[in-house]
């Protein structure tokens, strides 16, 4: 049995060309992309990269991938990242790893945004996966109550030891169960208008290409 995450993670690197600025995603699928990028650089590929999280930054250092601060970048040529859900319109839920704020910032200045997933992440409607909402520490329960009024139940994300999960940006993550998100674009805008919400995990109209695979290695690219 093949590893679909490795298949799509490595397949996506075929879109990378010499001289590009490349966004490196976060998570168990993007891991394989980052590892492959390191191998390609060893073999002579000349690119510079922008990581979407501290964990990806550490992997890049491990594999001698040249990094550039996002503050020095006006545009990223291509970004390769995973997702927790993908609908038929290429809308996404991201943030299972808590990096969706940085991932969305990187995506917003990316010319070509590739999403890599195994087939289990392809859904007819977003919402079964809990939607991550990043919230500032100040009056976080006030913000949570306003989020819940949109029709969800929610829980603060915790680490394995029971303590609060803190994002790379020193914020809390509220995992919200909507079950069915009928209008991702409207919900994205409504959430981000709530004071205290920094960003949410809905990526609407941002993905250019989806690469998915099943456990037999059958690729679907659209």
* Rounded-to-integer distance, Cα 134 and Cα 131, Å: 10
For position 200, what pLDDT does the model report? 98
pTM for this predicted structure: 0.96
pLDDT in tens, 3-25: 999 999 999 999 999 999 999 99
Predicted confidence (pLDDT) per residue in 144-160, tens digit: 999 999 999 999 999 99
CA dihedral sign, ordered 137, 142, 147, 153: positive
Q: Please give the chain's pLDDT, 222 residues, in tens.
A: 679 999 999 999 999 999 999 999 999 999 999 999 999 999 999 999 999 999 999 999 999 999 999 999 999 999 999 999 999 999 999 999 999 999 999 999 999 999 999 999 999 999 999 999 999 999 999 999 999 999 999 999 999 999 999 999 999 999 999 999 999 999 999 999 999 999 999 999 999 999 999 989 899 999
User: Which residue spans of the chain are classified as CATH 3.30.70.260?
Assistant: 131-199
The CATH superfamily of 131-199 is ACT domain (3.30.70.260)
Numbered ranges of CATH 3.40.50.1360 in the chain: 4-122+204-221
For residue 1, the model assigns a pLDDT of 62
- Known catalytic residues? 103
Query: Distances from the Cα of 81 to the Cαs of 8, 66, 151, in angstroms?
Result: 10, 18, 29
Tell me, which fold does domain 4-122+204-221 have in CATH? Rossmann fold (3.40.50)
């Amino acid at each position: 049995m093949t590893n679909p995450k490795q298949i799509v993670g490595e397949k996506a690197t075929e879109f990378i060309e010499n001289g590009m600025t490349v966004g490196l995603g976060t998570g168990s699928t993007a891991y394989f992309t980052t590892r492959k990028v390191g191998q390609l650089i060893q073999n002579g590929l000349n690119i510079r990269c922008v990581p979407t999280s501290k964990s990806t930054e550490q992997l890049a250092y491990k594999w001698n991938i040249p990094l550039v601060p996002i503050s020095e970048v006006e545009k990223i040529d291509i970004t390769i990242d995973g997702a927790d859900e993908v609908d038929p319109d290429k809308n996404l839920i991201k943030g299972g790893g808590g990096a969706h704020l940085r991932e969305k910032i990187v995506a917003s200045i990316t010319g070509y945004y590739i999403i890599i997933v195994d087939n289990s992440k392809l859904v007819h409607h977003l919402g079964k996966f809990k939607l991550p909402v990043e919230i500032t520490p100040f009056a976080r329960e006030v913000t949570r109550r306003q989020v819940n009024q949109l029709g969800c139940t929610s829980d603060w994300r915790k680490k394995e030891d029971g303590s609060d999960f803190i994002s790379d940006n020193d914020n809390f993550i509220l995992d919200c169960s909507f079950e069915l998100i009928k209008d991702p674009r409207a919900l994205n805008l409504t959430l981000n208008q709530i004071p205290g919400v920094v960003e949410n995990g809905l990526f609407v109209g941002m993905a250019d290409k989806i690469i998915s695979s099943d456990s037999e290695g059958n690729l679907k690219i659209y």
